[in-house]
Chains A and B, each alone.
Chain A
């Protein structure tokens, strides 16, 4: 494959799977500038690693690996802890006028709850709500199937508690 073809194939693949990168940016960066930086960082890392991508795994699985690793490195170099949304604050750059107020509130609650999880739990939750199978989650996270299921059960319990606390707090 020539450099030009590689370049075009890469851009097309990234555009198809851009949603994964955005999810990571919204999850691990708490303002527009950081999200932009993280987006760029992920794309650069994916581009650097792309010549080694052999297609043994799905592109989305491979992209998730790099995106999560980059996001975790990103928060490693940003001293402040990432708390995505402050209660009562509107969601930046996510305003959609077609979404009703109740939906907005639930959405805010979702983000607020996920933001309370630790970094690894956040990654697992994203994979779960992106309908990844446990096998795929295992190959992305490197955590075995059994441990992932246990973690997922704990996360669900944790989220239930956080959501309950948060919804009482906003009432």
Chain B
């Protein structure tokens, strides 16, 4: 059968579907239950939570005047996670955007995901490595009494602990990336090839 013969039949197919029209007015105010929508909601929630925690830290700092390095480190860690949540939220928003022609939309999403895959882990690890270096510097200059105990630990053990922490962080973030983005990345690569 030629494709042209399908034209009428296809129309009949979609028109003869015994489908009751869903309530469009109700649908548009509900978000879907798909994984991307769920992830977007989770990220939005984490942004709010981090924002509240950051405000609490700043308030604590202003009113009680904690100047200890520990606070700065905790603040920095929270801030890094907050920034990454905001970044990921922006990415998910862009991935969920479905306007524009199909080719442009797919290649845009693919480029975005490839960039994330390329930069997310190194930047994240780099920031945590920087924190470890700053911690070592602060201990060398005795800037925080809270770390006096830690500074007495054998340097080899300390480095091993940092390495363990960074490896753990790396594996955790990599599995999160894979879980959230890898299946889309592979599928998008396949779709772009089809274009």
Measuring CB to CB, which residues of chain A are less than 8 angstroms from any residue of chain B?
A: 7, 10-11, 14-15, 18-19, 22-23, 26, 36-37, 39-41, 43-45, 47, 49, 52, 65-66, 68-70, 72-77, 79, 91, 93-96, 98-99, 103, 106-107, 109-111, 118-121, 123, 125-126, 128-131, 139-143, 155-156, 159-160, 163, 167
Check A43–B98 contact: CB distance below 8 A.
Answer: no
Check A76–B21 contact: CB distance below 8 A.
Answer: no
**B146 CB–A CB distance under 8 Å:** no
Check A73–B96 contact: CB distance below 8 A.
Answer: yes
The chain B residue with its CB closest to the CB of A52 is B99
Interface centre among A18, A73, A77 (most CB of B within 10 A): A73
Chain B interface secondary structure, helix, strand, loop or mixed? helix
Please tell me which one of the listed residues A41, A47, A65 contacts residue B101 in the complex, with CB atoms under 8 A apart. A65
Chain A interface secondary structure, helix, strand, loop or mixed? helix
Interface size, B (range): 35 or more
**B10 CB–A CB distance under 8 Å:** yes
B61-69, B72-80, B132-140, B186-194: which lies at the interface:
B186-194
B1-29 interface mask toward A, CB cutoff 8 Å, 1 = contact, 0 = none?
11100110111111111110110110110
Check A107–B105 contact: CB distance below 8 A.
Answer: no
**B95 CB–A CB distance under 8 Å:** yes
Check A76–B184 contact: CB distance below 8 A.
Answer: yes
The chain A residue with its CB closest to the CB of B22 is A39
Give B164 Cβ to nearest chain A Cβ, in Å.
33
